[in-house]
Amino acid sequence: MARKPSENQPDSRRRPRQARALEKIELILEASRRILDRHGLEGFTTNHVAELAGVSVGTLYQYFPNKDRILDELARHELAQLTAGIMQALSDRPAEAPGERIRAVIHAVVSAYGGRSGAHRALMQYLLTRGGGNPLPGLRGSIMAHLVARGVTGPDRQLRNLGEAQAFVLAHAVSGVLRALLEEPDAMAPARREGIEEALVQLVLGYYWGER
């Protein structure tokens, strides 16, 4: 007589089901990326996603109850990449290099907001424009807290710090430019982008080294 599996022994019959579920989720997410890349947020619907993923709409809803939940999941991955790139830029540049940490952070942020693809830009726009729970302010706060705590080394090689109120104003000034980049894709042309990045660097440094 066959022995029943122990309660503590994993049931191998569940593994294929889990694998199929993960495969379907990945199909849905990949189809979503492709739609965002081609059509942006305006052309993003659950019916379109299900059709491209090769699943029924009912199956899609088993994993994602609405299109915002799909966008949330994709945006979470994009934000993780954005955070990793920015925090690496913050950590990799020595404080004694005048303005280099600021320049590295500005480059990482502009690259992230400008986007590697249409899907990336659409997701960044979604993060910036959706309602409560937007994680970008938290990331912005983390960056500014890092700069407030560690300061910035300027052309005179002196380390200076901003107060919380000054950091708040500066962070939102930079955010305004980043929003404009999403609204004006032509600004991401290489020549214009380099000029915008450098102008942002000078804005930050000028704020640190302006009149006291």
pLDDT tier at 25, thresholds 50, 70, 90: very high
pLDDT on residue 34 = 93
pLDDT in tens, 120-166: 778 877 877 775 445 556 666 666 676 677 666 666 666 677 777 87
pLDDT at 208 over 90: no
Q: Would you place residue 27 in the very low, low, confident or very high pLDDT band (cuts 50, 70, 90)?
A: very high
Residue 194 pLDDT more than 80? yes
The pLDDT tens digits for 67-112 are 999 999 998 887 777 777 777 766 665 555 556 777 777 877 777 6
Q: Name the pLDDT band for 10 (thresholds 50, 70, 90).
A: very low
Domain ranges of the chain: 15-65, 71-208
Provide DSSP, the chain.
-PPPPPTTS--TTHHHHHHHHHHHHHHHHHHHHHHHHHHTGGG--HHHHHHHHTS-HHHHHHH-SSHHHHHHHHHHHHHHHHHHHHHHHHHHS-TTSTTHHHHHHHHHHHHHHH-SSHHHHHHHHHHHHS-TT-SHHHHHHHHHHHHHHH-EE-TT--EE---HHHHHHHHHHHHHHHHHHHH-GGGGSHHHHHHHHHHHHHHHHHHHSS--
Is 71-208 in the same CATH topology as 15-65?
no
Instruction: Report whether pLDDT(170) > 70.
Output: yes
Reply yes or no on whether the pLDDT at 187 is more than 60: yes
Contact 74, 32 (CB under 8 A): yes
Selection from 64, 10, 41, 25 nearest residue 182 by Cα: 41
pTM of the model: 0.60
Res 93: pLDDT:
55
Answer yes or no: is pLDDT of 13 > 50: no
With respect to CATH, is domain 15-65 assigned 1.10.10.60? yes
Rounded mean pLDDT of 15-30? 83
Q: Which fold has domain 71-208?
A: Tetracycline Repressor; domain 2 (1.10.357)
Could you read off the pLDDT of 48-67 as tens digits, one per residue?
999 999 999 999 999 999 99
Angle between helices 46-53 and 67-92 (to 10 degrees): 80
Residue with more model confidence, 199 or 149: 199
